[in-house]
Amino acid sequence: MGYTLESWAKKREQGFIRFLIIEGVLFTGGPFAVILQVVGYFLLADEGQTFGQYFTSTRTWMTFLFHGTLFGGIMGFVKWRRNEKAYLAIQGQNGG
């Protein structure tokens, strides 16, 4: 489990959707999307397209949102399930 029992209990109370948005999309998906966009500039930029033109294009921002949301949502879900499973196992061992 990536959290203490107390901190996970608090995160559980705040809810699954909030966890997905904060821990998944913002903290995991955001950095992932930034890295992909920088790498994408070197691999996907049209010939003659400058750094500024690439990062102001609609396609770049759409892929940024797609990568951040999709990857962050999946990883947030995986983190939630892993922590929830460990929390419930510990609670079962402690009787409660």
Domain residue ranges in the chain = 5-93
d(CA 96, CA 93): 8
Residue of 80, 3, 2, 75 lying closest to 33 (CA atoms): 75
Give the single-character DSSP code of 58. H
Residue of 81, 75, 82 lying closest to 28 (CA atoms): 75
Total-model pTM: 0.82
Secondary-structure percent of the chain, ordered helix, strand, coil, rounded to 5: 85, 0, 15
Cα Rg of the chain (Å, integer): 18
pLDDT tens, residue by residue, 16-66? 999 999 999 999 999 999 999 999 898 888 888 888 898 899 989 999 999
pLDDT tens, residue by residue, 10-24? 999 999 999 999 999
